[in-house]
């Protein structure tokens, strides 16, 4: 059988079209593709056994005439002319049309040449058009009707002899659109295995650039429906917990300048890398060096019923996938147990999944961790002990593992910048001082997530509100000393008589700091420091209260510091 494919883009490249053409060639059919010629490609040539015809069109012009294809006849007329030129030279048995806009040619093909037509739906095109931002402009509402694409879909697909689509969800939707039953075949966007095996160009160079980092990869087009801005905003949050995080974006599109500007505005220029469009022979190189791959598409009728090629590319390289809850993608990920689904388009919901995959990557290297659910429970137990002395025996009992295992897991969390330990100050106090360290997290927002705190209102009444406030202040004090180039020597104090001070910092004099989340200062707080009056050295030291109120002042020689003024407070 001689098959003519129509594609309103330049070919190559198009992974799906080429895969289908090769499959037909392997079955003994002859395949030709009629496509645009944006530059100076040959008007006719053989590409991997496929005869390719091209006719010249400016790329920007082709997009504009497509945009007005329902209002003006130019799109249909240029394609009719191109088809006539090809059919003069060659005879065909069937025409295979790629995507809905070219289905406007079905009446012409069937009426003039009496050929059967296959309509191959790569996208839910009416929904895709409706989701574009420009369709909400006054001009679009007046001149470009969203509803017309839905009506044309019903009309044109109703005249096709058979239909191809990319997912079962899309097939169900099309069946509900057309009036009379007809063959609808699902051909998912699975990649060619042999091509993926050889898609490792520049592998060593790419690996060297991102070596030693925790790499999150997105591959695909860049437009408003892809959710890339959510990925970038989430990375700003996740960097607090995962300093080695790198976001690698491979692809091009019309919102690329906006995404670059967003990255700069969030000061992520050293963490987010825009690689641009890359040929297929480099795709595997990028996937192979990634730790997690993402599909953050915005959930919509279009994305609910499509199946992106990149999902199967990620799976081929056995990479965990984080995806939004688009129906067809979610079904595959949950069935194959190959990733995580987030059910919102907010960065706050997206970023904890970074952590989960990050932790799991490091945990895989620990031989005695066979149950990642147990480890995840351990991390949540640590969150519930924020600001407390580390009790290895208690953690081991609650987790169901040995004390030695708990110590190993603590080391992993600390090496991965998930937690840090604050050690006790013991100078001049000898054996009276408790020696166990306290545990804190590098991101108080992460602790809130682990504890199930989802709003400020919930935090106000949570039993760990004080501990979370303490975690925030201790972390800020450490960051302040680091940024000022001061040794990060801060401790806490607790002795066998249960005398305790939250933070001790050593400069020329010691600074003793008590942290209280209360918004109102109470004089009773300073009684915390009475035990120090018995120590001559401590009497010379500075003593401060850092609290949750708004005013900073001096009270009986004590510095009372608002958390809002912490950056002005020298430790």
Instruction: Write out the DSSP string of 40-103.
Output: S--SEEEETTEEEEEEE--HHHHHHHHHTTTT-SHHHHHHHHHHHHHHHH---SEEEEESGGGG
pLDDT of the residue at 348: 60
The residue ranges of every structural domain in the chain are: 2-186, 193-361, 372-568
Exposure of 438 in the CB half-sphere (CA atoms within 13 A): 24
pLDDT of the residue at 367: 47
- From 108, 76, 85, 95, select the one nearest 33 (Cα to Cα): 95
Separation between Cα atoms, residue 425 and residue 431, nearest integer Å: 11
Helix axes 403-415, 347-363, angle to 10 degrees: 120
Residues whose CB falls within 8 Å of the CB of residue 114, separated by 6 or more in sequence, listed in order: none
Query: What sign results for the dihedral spanned by CA atoms 64, 65, 70, 72?
Result: positive
Q: What's the pTM?
A: 0.57
Separation between Cα atoms, residue 407 and residue 394, nearest integer Å: 12
First-to-last alpha carbon distance for the chain, in angstroms, is: 81
Judge whether 456 and 546 are in contact, CB under 8 Å: no
pLDDT under 70 in the chain at which residues? 130-146, 344-372, 416, 427-434, 483-488, 508, 533-541, 568-571
Residue 502 is encoded by which pair of tokens? Answer: 């939250």
375-396 as b/e: b if 16+ CB within 10 A: beebbeebbebbbeebeeeebb
Number of neighbouring beta carbons within 10 Å of residue 220: 20
Separation between Cα atoms, residue 106 and residue 119, nearest integer Å: 9
User: SS3 for 299?
Assistant: coil
Question: 2-186 has which CATH code?
Answer: 3.40.50.2000
Exposure of 410 in the CB half-sphere (CA atoms within 13 A): 24
pLDDT of the residue at 93: 93
Please tell me if the domain spanning 2-186 has the same topology as the one spanning 193-361. yes
What is the side-by-side strand order in the sheet with 321-324? Answer: 272-276, 245-250, 214-219, 292-295, 321-324, 339-342
pLDDT of the residue at 83: 93
Return the CATH class of domain 193-361: alpha beta
pLDDT of the residue at 370: 62
Residue appearing with tokens 């289905």 = 103
């Amino acid at each position: 059988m001689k098959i003519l494919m129509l594609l309103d883009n330049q070919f190559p490249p198009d992974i799906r079209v080429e895969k289908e053409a090769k499959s037909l060639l392997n079955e003994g059919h002859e395949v030709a593709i009629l496509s645009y010629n944006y530059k100076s490609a040959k008007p006719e040539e053989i590409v991997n056994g496929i005869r390719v015809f091209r006719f010249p069109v400016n790329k920007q012009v082709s997009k504009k005439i497509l945009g007005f294809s329902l209002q003006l006849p130019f799109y249909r007329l240029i394609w009719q002319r191109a088809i006539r030129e090809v059919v003069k030279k060659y005879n065909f048995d069937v025409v295979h049309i790629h995507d809905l806009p070219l289905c406007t040619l079905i009446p012409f093909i069937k009426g003039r040449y009496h050929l059967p037509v296959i309509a191959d739906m790569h996208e839910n095109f009416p929904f895709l058009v409706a989701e574009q931002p420009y369709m909400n402009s006054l001009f679009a509402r007046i001149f470009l009707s969203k509803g017309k694409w839905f009506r044309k879909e019903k009309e044109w697909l109703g005249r096709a002899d058979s239909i191809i689509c990319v997912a079962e969800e899309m097939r169900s939707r099309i069946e509900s659109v057309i009036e009379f039953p007809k063959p609808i075949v699902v051909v998912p966007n699975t990649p060619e295995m042999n091509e993926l095996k050889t898609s490792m160009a520049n592998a060593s160079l790419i690996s060297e650039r991102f070596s030693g980092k925790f790499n999150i990869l997105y591959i695909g087009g860049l437009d408003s429906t892809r959710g890339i801005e959510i990925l970038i905003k989430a990375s700003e949050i996740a960097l607090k917990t995962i300093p080695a995080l790198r976001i690698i974006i491979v692809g091009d599109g019309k919102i690329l300048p906006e995404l670059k500007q967003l990255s700069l505005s969030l000061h992520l220029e050293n963490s987010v890398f825009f690689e641009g469009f890359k040929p297929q022979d480099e795709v595997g190189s990028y996937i192979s060096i990634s730790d997690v791959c993402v599909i953050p598409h915005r959930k919509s009728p279009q994305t609910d019923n499509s199946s992106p090629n990149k999902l199967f590319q990620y799976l081929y390289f056995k990479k965990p996938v984080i995806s939004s809850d688009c129906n067809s993608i979610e079904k595959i990920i949950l069935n194959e147990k190959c990733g995580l689904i987030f059910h919102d388009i907010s960065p706050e919901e997206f970023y904890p999944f970074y952590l989960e995959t990050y932790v799991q990557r490091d945990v895989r290297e620990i031989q005695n961790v066979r149950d990642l659910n147990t480890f995840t429970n351990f991390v949540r137990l640590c969150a519930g002990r924020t600001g407390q002395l580390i009790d290895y025996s208690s953690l081991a009992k609650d987790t169901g593992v040995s004390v030695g295992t708990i110590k190993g897991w603590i080391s992993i969390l600390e090496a991965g910048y998930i937690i840090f330990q604050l050690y006790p100050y013991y100078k001049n106090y000898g054996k009276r001082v408790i020696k166990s360290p306290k545990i804190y997290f590098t991101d108080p927002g992460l602790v809130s997530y682990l504890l199930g705190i989802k709003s400020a209102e919930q935090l106000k009444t949570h039993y760990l509100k004080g501990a979370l406030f303490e975690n925030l202040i201790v972390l800020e004090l450490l960051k302040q000393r680091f940024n000022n180039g001061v040794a990060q020597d801060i401790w806490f104090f607790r002795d066998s008589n249960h005398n305790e001070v939250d933070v001790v910092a050593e400069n020329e004099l010691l600074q003793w700091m008590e942290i209280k989340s209360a918004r109102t200062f109470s004089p009773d707080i300073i009684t915390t420091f009475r035990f120090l009056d018995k120590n001559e050295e401590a009497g010379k030291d500075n003593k401060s209260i850092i609290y949750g109120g708004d005013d900073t002042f001096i009270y009986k020689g004590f510095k009372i510091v608002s958390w809002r003024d912490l950056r002005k407070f020298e430790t």
